[in-house]
Amino acid sequence: MTETVRLSWKTVRDRVHARVLDGTYAPGDRLPRDEDLAEQFGCARSTVQRAMQDLSLSGIVERRRKGGTRVRRDPVTRATLDIPITRNEVESRGAVYGYQLIEQTTAPPAPAIAARLEIPGAEDMLRVRALHLSDGRPFVFEDRWVSLRTVPEIREIDLAAQSANEWLVRNKPYTRCDLRFYAINADADTAGILETDEGAALMVIERTTWIGGDPITSVKALTAPGYQILTRS
């Protein structure tokens, strides 16, 4: 049945990717033609083409002129970085994990956050500011926004007892994740929270996740000086 709602190319990309992940399209399988997918999804052929271009750039599918689109038999070799549960990170280092909820509010996000989450307008979201500790010392400070439209059940979670990081990783799997790393100099507020010098160099990890086209969460995690991250391919 043709859908009546016009979909964005990102939603089409996520739906095709989900079919690859669940085995509907196996490695080496030829995907339906762009025009057939467009008819299935009720969107323009150009929308499917844009989605397939992104999947091709990500190493998930392979597109050949006159040869159609196939799921790659051998995925492009990439470093893999799972979203960590901070408690596990700390305990894997042999340290004692601690956690402090600093602030929990409900409000519309700033325009920059809304743009990162790809939501068209202002809507109330849950904002959580929390500090993760290692042996009683600041380890990671996170400033997180959670979609109450996609994750309404988080309202019932005691986030003073369990971190949003841990609950979301365990209970809200995602189909897409945008990840950024960069460095900043600590301002007075952040330096106070992380118990470091104002101006100290800090690594920042920004993660935004979606399920299909629906946003789950966007978090800005500021790590204490000396923090290291490991990725394996």
Dmax of the chain from CA atoms? 61
| CATH tag, 9-71 | 1.10.10.10
The angle at the Cα of 49, spanning 52 to 22, to the nearest 5 degrees, equals 35
Q: Which pLDDT belongs to residue 77?
A: 47
pLDDT at 73 (0 to 100) = 80
Neighbours of 162 (CB within 10 A): 14
Residues of the chain with pLDDT under 70: 1-5, 75-82, 230-233
pTM: 0.67
The pLDDT of residue 228 is: 82
CATH superfamily, region 86-223: Chorismate lyase-like (3.40.1410.10)
Q: What is the pLDDT of residues 21-48, one digit of tens each?
A: 888 998 889 999 999 999 999 999 999 9
pLDDT reported for residue 233: 45
Query: How many Å apart are CA 153 and CA 156, to the nearest integer?
Result: 6
Domain ranges of the chain: 9-71, 86-223
